[in-house]
């Protein structure tokens, strides 16, 4: 690795570049003489900003071009937000490592109201996530949820222009952009269960590139990897490869894994929740078991209806 140039594929958004610089710094701390070249890429999801993610194919649109760069040997690794990485990865590629997770929770950003409870009836809340939408409507059905796309800075600018009374963003995204001062309320998981992998950065590479796999595996944070493996197992069983109202959040607690899962209808009328607590070596099993429980309790019908709508848009 010392005499090699490592090419890193990344999206061009400010947050993606900041995450890539974070990983770059970690890599150089291990291999200070390594040459690193960034390969910025504009994805299909970055180009379509006037439609909701659920209508254009989901979050996978943010990583497809990066994966193509790997497959065509235009880059050696790709940096992703783990919440954007589909649970099923093409066999030619693999997840090398997951860096230590930051804050996985959602955040309310508002210029006038201190919390979700303080929002007045009929307040307009912006979010691009059906997961956030369904949980917010369930808790506060008197609020108006309005679609919101664009990078973090663009979304905050729309809030400042008075188009929204509040918006909901990922807490760690604000932290990485040094926008902590814009955080109004960090929303507890009991009110807004996070997305699978939220708050963590993943490194993807070609499965046959053994040298890269070996050296960059040292960046893997084992506790984060275990937690997110449980979350992704839950989503994999639900076939959650697109942007649908699914939340999954696992934490290591008292030497065991505590996994919580959620499936909801976009209108917030149905919210199905469950949880599992088990040992580290049973993350896959507990994720599948929890997903099966929710499927039996009504999640199957919700997801089938959403997939039908999605196939219509695509």
**Which residues are marked as active site?**
84
Structure tokens at 145: 């949820």
DSSP state, residue 157: H
| CA 259 – CA 274 distance, rounded (Å) | 8
Burial of 226 (0-12, 13-18, 19+ CB in 10 A): middle
Distant-in-sequence, close-in-space partners of 300: CB < 8 Å, separation ≥ 6: none
Distant-in-sequence, close-in-space partners of 157: CB < 8 Å, separation ≥ 6: none
DSSP state, residue 238: T
Asked whether 144 and 97 are in contact (CB, 8 A), the reply is no
CA 242 to chain centre: 11
Structure tokens at 50: 């006037």
| CA 293 – CA 270 distance, rounded (Å) | 15
């Amino acid at each position: 690795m010392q005499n090699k140039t490592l090419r890193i594929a990344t999206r061009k958004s400010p947050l993606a570049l900041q995450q890539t610089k974070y990983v770059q710094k970690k890599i150089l701390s291990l291999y200070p003489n390594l040459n690193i070249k960034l390969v910025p890429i504009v994805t299909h999801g970055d180009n379509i900003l006037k439609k909701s993610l659920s209508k254009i194919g989901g979050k996978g649109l943010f990583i497809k071009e990066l994966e193509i760069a790997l497959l065509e040997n235009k880059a050696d690794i790709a940096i992703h937000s783990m919440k954007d990485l589909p649970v099923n990865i093409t066999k030619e590629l693999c997840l090398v490592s997951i860096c230590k997770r930051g804050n996985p929770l959602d955040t309310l950003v508002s210029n006038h109201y201190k919390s979700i409870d303080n929002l007045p009836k009929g307040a307009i809340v912006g979010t691009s996530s059906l997961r956030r939408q369904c949980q917010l409507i369930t808790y506060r059905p008197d609020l108006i949820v309005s679609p919101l796309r664009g990078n973090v800075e663009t979304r905050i600018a729309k809030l400042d222009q008075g188009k929204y009374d509040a918006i909901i963003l990922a807490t760690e995204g604000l932290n990485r952009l040094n926008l902590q001062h814009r955080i109004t309320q960090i929303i507890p998981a009991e009110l807004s269960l996070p997305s699978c992998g939220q708050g963590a950065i993943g490194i993807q590479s070609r499965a046959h590139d053994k040298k890269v796999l070996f050296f960059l595996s040292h960046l893997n944070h084992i506790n984060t990897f275990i937690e997110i493996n449980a979350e992704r197992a839950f989503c994999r069983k639900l076939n959650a490869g697109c942007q649908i109202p699914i939340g999954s959040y696992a934490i290591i607690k008292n030497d065991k894994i505590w996994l919580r899962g959620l499936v909801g209808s976009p209108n917030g009328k149905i919210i199905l929740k469950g949880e599992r607590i088990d040992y580290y070596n049973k993350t896959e099993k507990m994720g599948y078991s929890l997903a099966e429980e929710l499927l039996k309790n009504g999640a199957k019908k919700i997801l089938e209806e959403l997939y039908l709508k999605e196939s219509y848009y695509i």
